[in-house]
Amino acid sequence: MVSSLKGRDFLSLADYSREELLFIIETARVLKERFYSGERIIPLLPGRHLAMIFEKPSTRTRISFETAMRELGGDALYLNWRDLQLGRGETIEDTARVLSRYVDGVMARVYEHDKLVRLAEYSSVPVINGLSDLLHPAQALSDIYTIMEKKGRDISRLRIVFIGDGRDNVLHSLLLGIGILGGKLVISSPKGYDPDPMVVEWFEEKAAPNGGSYEIIRDPYEAVKGADVVYTDVWVSMGQEGVREKKIRDLEPYRVTVELMKLAKPGAVFMHCLPAHRGEEVVDEVIDGPWSIVWEQAENRKHVQKAILALLIP
């Protein structure tokens, strides 16, 4: 039983137990249900302020967190990294101390994961990972919620397949979240693109004891056979432009096509966290086709993040 998550940081799904993740997911379900019943504003955080720091630009992260906070009766402040004193050399530690005097929570979208760790260490208010190069827990938990919405709460019976770059930040968080909830993730990626060893270590510590597992299958056509869920992400993320040509060449066999999706189980769904580079990791006929649930997936960012905010911010 979960009593309270107030004051907790949200840097990695590995920081949360199975029961706590399910508690957040159930809270998101209730909040989404209330939203569609006509209760657009649920004042769980009146007078609270969320600072949103963006070192990386964003569409979904910014809008979903901002609308989520306002629908909870609070306010969200957009802060561009370059416009803050951070962009002029002020330390993360000093910024954390100052922001803690002004706001009730901080969401940050950064490059290096260590920046979030340092921000959380020196902040007296909850710090939420809006994305780092290593992890994207808010996205992954929203994706898991969406899978449960479409396929049922028992994800241990599902074949969930991620195709593409196994070092992807969303993949890392999906691996942890699905594993902690007792599910299995199949990863189809070329050699040299396996998950970060640190994330694998966290998986063995936090997910394996709950019955979680993963398997790497190099052949995407073999991996996707009988899949309930097929997931992919962009091959070249922000900051990786210098290796773009190599990554596209290495990952070209892992493009999600109609032919690939036809090998999945009848009723299978296709997922992508967006933005998509159409024609690279996925073709139009799939992302716009009958398998796709990417738009519901994008919407659920708001509902799950609303739950995270409501449960963590004091």
Note if 139 is an active site residue. Answer: yes
Q: Residue 229: which region, alpha, beta or left (left: phi > 0; alpha: psi -120 to 50)?
A: beta
**Could you tell me the two tokens for 280?**
């690279």
Note if 273 is an active site residue. Answer: yes
> Distance between CA 167 and CA 264 in Å, rounded?
23
| Residue 151 near residue 228, CB atoms below 8 Å | yes
Task: Indicate which residue of 133, 165, 273, 297 is catalytic.
Answer: 273
In the block, residue with structure tokens 């070329």: 190
H/E stretch holding 49: strand 49-54
**CB neighbours of residue 198 within 10 Å:** 11
Task: Indicate which residue of 29, 104, 139, 228 is catalytic.
Answer: 139
**Could you tell me the two tokens for 4?**
């309270």
- Compute φ and ψ for 184, nearest 5 degrees: -120, 140
Provide the 8-state DSSP code for 2: -
- Compute φ and ψ for 38, nearest 5 degrees: 110, -5
Residue type, 267: G
Note if 301 is an active site residue. Answer: yes
Task: Indicate which residue of 109, 113, 255, 303 is catalytic.
Answer: 109
Note if 109 is an active site residue. Answer: yes
Note if 136 is an active site residue. Answer: yes
Task: Indicate which residue of 233, 272, 303, 305 is catalytic.
Answer: 233
- Compute φ and ψ for 220, nearest 5 degrees: -65, -30
How would you class 303 by CB atoms within 10 Å of its CB: exposed for 0-12, middle for 13-18, buried for 19 or more? buried
**Could you tell me the two tokens for 282?**
């996925």
**Could you tell me the two tokens for 179?**
């594993």
Task: Indicate which residue of 136, 159, 255, 303 is catalytic.
Answer: 136
In the block, residue with structure tokens 């780092």: 132
| Residue 20 near residue 48, CB atoms below 8 Å | no
| Residue 197 near residue 259, CB atoms below 8 Å | no
Distance from CA of residue 157 to its chain's centroid? 22
Write out the catalytic residue numbers.
109, 136, 139, 233, 273, 301
